[in-house]
Amino acid sequence: MHTIAALIIIDGYLLGARRWARTRTPLGDAGGVTLEAVIITLGLITVAGLLVFALTTAVQRRVDQIN
């Protein structure tokens, strides 16, 4: 029974936090943050892919020199 009471209290805190976050975010700028996050994420994935490609190429050249 204590678990159910704890879940109800946690649910109340979550609802309050969501309500607070909604009132703090301007409605006209809600999608801008998401778009920026997507662009930054894609950029970081591209940089990571280029680093993996460069390291793989460098290691393969070293292996070819050994043989």
Task: Report pLDDT digits (tens) over 24-61.
Answer: 766 655 566 677 888 899 999 999 999 999 999 999 99
**Residue 25 has what pLDDT?**
62
- Amino acid identity of residue 52, one-letter, is V
Query: C-alpha 40: how far from its chain's center?
Result: 10
Task: Give the tokens for residue 10.
Answer: 């946690």
pLDDT the model gives residue 53 = 93
Q: What is the pLDDT of residue 1?
A: 58
Which residue is listed with tokens 């159910």? 4
The confidence score (pLDDT) of residue 31 equals: 60
Q: pLDDT tens digits, residue range 16-25?
A: 888 887 777 6
pTM greater than 0.85 (yes/no): no
With tokens 């704890």, the residue in question is 6
